[in-house]
Amino acid sequence: MGSSERMGASSKPANAPSQAAPEKQYGVTKAISMAGPTVADLKRTKKLEKFLADSGLYEGNEEASKRLEVLQRLEQIVKNWVKQLTRLKGYTDQMVQDANALIVTFGSYRLGVHGPGADLDTLCIGPSYVNREHDFFFTLHEILACVDEVTELQPIPDAHVPVMRFKFDGISIDLLYASISRLVVPEELDISDVSVLHNVDEPTVRSLNGCRVADQILKLVPNVEYFRTTLRCLKYWAKRRGLYSNVTGFLGGVNWALLVARVCQMYPNAVPSMLVSRFFRVYTQWRWPNPVMLCPIEENELGFSLWHPRKNPRDRTHLMPIITPAYPCMNSSYNVSTSTLRVMMEQFEHGNKICGDIDMNKSCWRALFEPYLFFEGYKNFLQIDIVAADVDDLRNWKGWVESRLRQLTLMIERDTFGKLQCHPYPREYIDPSKKCLHNAFFMGLQRKEGEVVQEGCQFDIRATVEEFRHSVNSYMFWKPGMDIHVSHIRRRQIPCYVFPDGLKRSRPSRSTAQLKKSPTSFHGNEVSPTEQGEKNFKRKHDNRGVRQNVVLKKHCVSPPVDSLTGGNPCLHAGDMSVHAVSDCQELKNVERTSLSNCEQDQFDRRMSPESGSESASNSSGVTSVSSNGGSSPEDVGSAPVVGFIDDSAMAVEATTSGRFEDMTYMEDSVKLGNNTLAGRNNDVLQKELQAQLEPIAMSGMFLDAKGAFDKDTVQKTVIRRLSLTSTA
């Protein structure tokens, strides 16, 4: 499973005993627990490893050999390409002979956690006189286009990290390019040396940092093999739960690797089964936006921009900072939005409960990896359909639209003042009944939890959707036939092709006893629109001077369908008004119901943060409908809305600059409560631990009067006494 880049050199022994020497510190704080595994932990680890193997997450020998052959063939192509350019640019014969280029890997392959069919992330390193704009994206592109094994060649020069994507003998490859400030690229080039960043541009730094970050991660974790098994497990979990996608506002491979590596540092002697459980325990209680860091942020005379919330106002808007360990340290998760952070926190809570059951031998690993039932979690959706004239156009068009979905989420959050939450689902679907080439994306919609439900309150996001369509249609490589259609649909209108075997999942019928109960249970200050309509409370004015005893309802007229679909006959002329986005109070995670017994409730209370502390997400739990009385699940707790918030005090235009609040960073990033696992069979319980909370080692929090880092202060970690009873 190791890569061709000799990753094994970074491995370190898990528990190398040191005689009378101080415990080695991994990361910016001391370990939370140095405890090793119990017999039960070792058994659970074996079961986990067997489950991962049975799930087909490990690459076979044949495919591994094929990857090595493809890498060698690709490296030979780029070496010949550089020699050819050297000759064309008029250099001497000796220079032509010495001209060289390297192919190095990064991402999951370099970390050693890639699986069957995974993309191969590669970087081409060339000399200073071979540029990216023309030599790479035109000359090399033409060479690759003539190679028989190369298919689906797609250059993306305007990406944040410029990339060329293609398949080489069936293996998907993402190829980046970095031109370093050397006339000859040595075969033994050390990428981890900061000197490779001298006199290079920002895209080159970002391209090189993929390899540099991977190497640093492997150096900073206590046990590489335990790290790899845990990361492989959690990447699989994230994909099953719909959280593995950086482009749509969730987390990508490097983000998950950094989160797992930090947990490995906190529990340096833990085995994978323990690390998976601790992962969910830690991040359900992490106080975002405090950063996750593997090492202190390093400054250098090269002067590249660092993640620095004190100096860079944009960095203050980051909701879930996960900082890369290689210079220049950056936030790898800047794409995360309020809505996607909420979804991830809810899924972390779910994983934490399942792992609690596994630790108490009440569940098995398979339960943790049950797929997320996205289409059963919401009552309202946005459906984004795209079409194109041919396969190549659809691939380019789909990549562009998918990269803009995050902007649609941000626009909706902005224009509804955060009251309407979005859940972009990172998966594409194809309608086999359409004659033209087609892809569809879906986005779940729900009212923010805790908002008062009032009959007639509506979210009018048609202008937002039209703004999104306009930005998408500004694609610089647009071609005739490329079109996009966005429509609002209810759950009952979900097309059959999104379900396995094209069959909709049947919903359980309610018993007569359930129908006799109260219509809907609401949390906190939420008010049932049915109850409000029946009781007709006569509060004259609220604090905004809005009368509440009148049923406020707006009827919005949908814009002409032709103007929104562009007249494309392949796109169904659906409901583009995006109306009736009702309050989603239905069960979002159906599998959570199996955890609602008394023992699990006691476990949840012990695993939750201290009372009165700030919530780590917008929604601390999933609102469920425990007893509904009504004709259908679609009508329960529904506020028929067109999208317009009928509140005169809120009827103002959304500001474009105030999208996020200015974040205040806490003194501690993760708070672990009194975690007592009931019903454990383990014999050894640890005593109370002195746990280190994440120090504010981020940029700007330890600066002296001259604006330089005060290293002495960085070393003084914030120690907080925890009453942690754990079988760690």
Other Cβ atoms within 10 Å of 339 Cβ, number: 26
For residues 257 and 236, what is the distance between their CA atoms, to the nearest angstrom? 12
Spatial contact of 210 and 123, defined as CB atoms under 8 Å apart? yes
Looking only at the bridges linking them, the beta strands covering 380-388 and 483-490 are antiparallel
For residues 148 and 170, what is the distance between their CA atoms, to the nearest angstrom? 11
Tell me if residue 43 is catalytic: no
For residues 235 and 316, what is the distance between their CA atoms, to the nearest angstrom? 28
Tell me if residue 710 is catalytic: no
Phi/psi for 425 (5° steps) reads: -95, 120
Spatial contact of 176 and 123, defined as CB atoms under 8 Å apart? yes
- Which member of 121, 359, 415, 583 is catalytic? 121
- Which member of 119, 431, 575, 604 is catalytic? 119
Phi/psi for 411 (5° steps) reads: -65, -45
- Which member of 3, 10, 108, 608 is catalytic? 108
Side-chain-side CA neighbours of residue 688 (13 Å)? 6
Tell me if residue 244 is catalytic: yes
- Which member of 83, 235, 588, 671 is catalytic? 235
Spatial contact of 212 and 326, defined as CB atoms under 8 Å apart? yes
For residues 253 and 230, what is the distance between their CA atoms, to the nearest angstrom? 13
Looking only at the bridges linking them, the beta strands covering 437-447 and 420-424 are antiparallel
Residue 637 Rama label (left phi>0; alpha psi -120 to 50; beta): left
Cα 485–486–487 angle (5° rounding)?
120
Looking only at the bridges linking them, the beta strands covering 163-168 and 380-388 are unpaired
For residues 403 and 325, what is the distance between their CA atoms, to the nearest angstrom? 26
Strand partners, 156: 163
Cα 314–320–324 angle (5° rounding)?
85
Tell me if residue 121 is catalytic: yes
Tell me if residue 648 is catalytic: no
- Which member of 135, 174, 583, 668 is catalytic? 174
The two counts, helices (H) then strands (E), for the chain are 18, 11
**24 token code pair:** 């080695």
- DSSP alpha helices (H): ranges in 428-528? 462-472, 512-515
- Which member of 26, 226, 236, 244 is catalytic? 244
Q: Which of 443, 437, 439, 421 is nearest to 429 (CA)?
A: 439
Q: Check residue 134 and report its DSSP letter.
A: I
For residues 483 and 394, what is the distance between their CA atoms, to the nearest angstrom? 10
For residues 91 and 83, what is the distance between their CA atoms, to the nearest angstrom? 10
Tell me if residue 174 is catalytic: yes
Per DSSP, the three-state class of 691 is: strand
Residues taking part in catalysis: 108, 119, 121, 174, 235, 244
